[in-house]
């Protein structure tokens, strides 16, 4: 279950598993509001592990390319840095150029 899309202790008593789409405004809201709350309050003490799972919706034209690009970032240990940049676009990378731009910032 552990991979580069997890934060927290693998033995945490609570696992928050989130299925998300990089173009979803709801995923962006989670990433902006809930993830920082978990990272600040529950992940450091080992009580929660956060697991992110891709669920690109077919009507979001850049969700699947963004998910694929984020997996490439994960293979280099940079998933969260890349995801941070994508979600700074408001959770809506609307073009391949937006995805490439997020990668260029994350890997700078």
CA atoms within 13 A on the CB side of 27: 26
pLDDT at 1: 41
Distance of CA 104 to the CA centre of its chain: 16
Query: Confidence class of residue 92 from pLDDT cuts 50, 70 and 90?
Result: low
Instruction: Give SS3 for 99.
Output: helix
Q: Greater confidence, 89 or 101?
A: 101
Tokens standing for residue 74: 């994960």
Average pLDDT over residues 83-100: 75
Report all structural domains of the chain as residue ranges with CATH numbers, in order of start.
6-106 (3.40.30.10)
* Residue 86: pLDDT band with limits 50, 70, 90: confident
Rounded alpha-carbon distances, angstroms, from residue 30 to 21, 75, 107? 11, 23, 23
Residue 51: pLDDT over 90: yes
């Amino acid at each position: 279950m552990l991979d580069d899309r997890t934060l927290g202790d693998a033995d945490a008593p609570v696992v928050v598993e989130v299925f998300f789409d990089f173009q979803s405004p709801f995923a962006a809201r989670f990433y902006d509001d809930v993830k920082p709350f978990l990272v600040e309050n529950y992940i450091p003490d080992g009580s929660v592990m956060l697991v992110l799972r891709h669920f690109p919706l077919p009507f979001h034209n850049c969700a699947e390319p963004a998910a694929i690009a984020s997996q490439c970032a994960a293979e280099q240990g940079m998933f969260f840095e890349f995801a941070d940049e994508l979600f700074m676009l408001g959770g809506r990378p609307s073009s391949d150029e937006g995805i490439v731009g997020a990668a260029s910032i994350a890997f700078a």
